[in-house]
Chain A
């Protein structure tokens, strides 16, 4: 594996008086699959959202590829750089409601990458086949199940060929029987080398794909390590409690 692609130092973030992130350091190598776990309110999602500037931060430094970014004072060109080299899969799917699945995947290619429509369509179809939606190209999100919508959202995120994809609890809103189809797709794309940072509670998934599991508790990273170690022999008490709860 190569050098660190993302390095975060001293990330702090408060919502009003409520301090969510109290000084987070995180290193992610290119191609690495990092799973972030932790109880709700521990700051997992906020950490992801601070990385692509969906949330502003109060303090912190991030190296993203070649760039050094002051997380408390993002420059416009840095926001653009990070967002055009990353993409995100949301808990609530967030497919564009007024576009078909195909149009959803094409949108970023055409509007942001400046790719010609015909070519974008080919690329979009390729990725939609990969997530098993080639028979639903012309469906609107409202006509699809949650699992199908989330697979469409994954195709949309991947088609842009980002360096890193953020997954923010991608299966938490799904019915239990639909979780597997989304996890299968994610395992499949994990094999292809894109850097993935995933907030999830799916232990089995973490065991299968993670290079590293990071546990968060009350605004700090309390423990991290290889999944076979950390999931079986956690050292931190909070990690133990949490793993007992979701096991």
Chain B
């Protein structure tokens, strides 16, 4: 058995792409969307210091930033079904918990975890919008929600984009932990084909290459979006 089997490696890449890429992208994009929503709502709760919700948000962010994602995954994947099962029989919901696909749990735990991180990005982005912009919007007769949606959010978003891009790449890599919950994403599919021929090294390397390329593509994508969103900061040619 040679140290490195090129042929296996080359064959592993398309297999990993075929079996794992879809789940990785799926989990990443769903997580990113919900994490941004959760992050924004949490940020607004913190900025406006809404009673009760404010205290809840402090505990929420502290917990999800203060514990490892892997531990959170295990808690949600093994703990949540037990609880759901209990209440499902108690209240006669008549739902078969075992039929819920594991990726659903992953949507929840990943969104909550990254939502906690992204809430800080959103908070600083919203606060970075100049006070004068709010005031000008009020003096033309805008209501509070309109000031946020028309004036503050568009500017905050373009301030937040570089950081959001970072977290997006972070989520791509973070999804590799979902294999512990039996979700077949890039890493899990590499593990499976590696186990078939005891070619773990080649298989994992193939997974690494795929992750790298995916991250590169999204980095370029985010940079392009960022440039476009900042067009108002440049002078026209």
Contacts and interface: CB of A to CB of B under 8 A. Distances in A.
A80 interface: yes
Interface residues of B, number: 24
Nearest to B231: A140
Interface string B131-156: 01101111111110010001100110
Given A98-B158, A111-B146, A139 B135 contact: no
A216 B235 CA distance: 41
B90 interface: no
Chain A CB count within 10 A is highest, among B130, B136, B146, B232, for: B136
A193 to B, nearest CB: 20
Contact of A52 (B139, B158, B234): B139
A128 interface: no
B19 to A, nearest CB: 43
A142 B139 contact: no
Contact residues on A (Cβ < 8 Å of other chain), bracket? 20 to 34
Contacts, number: 80
A84 B132 contact: no
Contact of A86 (B139, B143, B155): B139
A151 interface: no
Contacts of A96: 133, 136-137, 151
Nearest to B136: A94
B235 A108 contact: no
Interface string A72-93: 0000000010011011101010
A50 to B, nearest CB: 13
Given A92-B132, A111-B146, A97 B139 contact: no
Chain B CB count within 10 A is highest, among A54, A94, A156, for: A94
B18 to A, nearest CB: 42
Given A80-B141, A83-B141, A143 B236 contact: yes
Interface string A88-130: 1010101111111000000110011100000000000000000
Contact of A98 (B141, B143, B155, B234): B155
A111 B133 contact: no
A156 B133 CA distance: 13
A98 B154 contact: yes
A174 B168 CA distance: 42
A83 B133 contact: no
B139 A83 contact: yes
A52 B141 CA distance: 10
A160 interface: yes
A79 B135 CA distance: 13
Given A94-B132, A97-B133, A107 B140 contact: yes
Nearest to B143: A80
Contacts of A54: 135, 138-139
Contacts of A107: 140, 150
A92 B146 CA distance: 22
B232 A97 contact: yes
Contact of A94 (B135, B143, B150, B236): B135
8 contacts: A83-B138, A87-B141, A88-B136, A88-B139, A90-B132, A94-B133, A99-B232, A140-B231
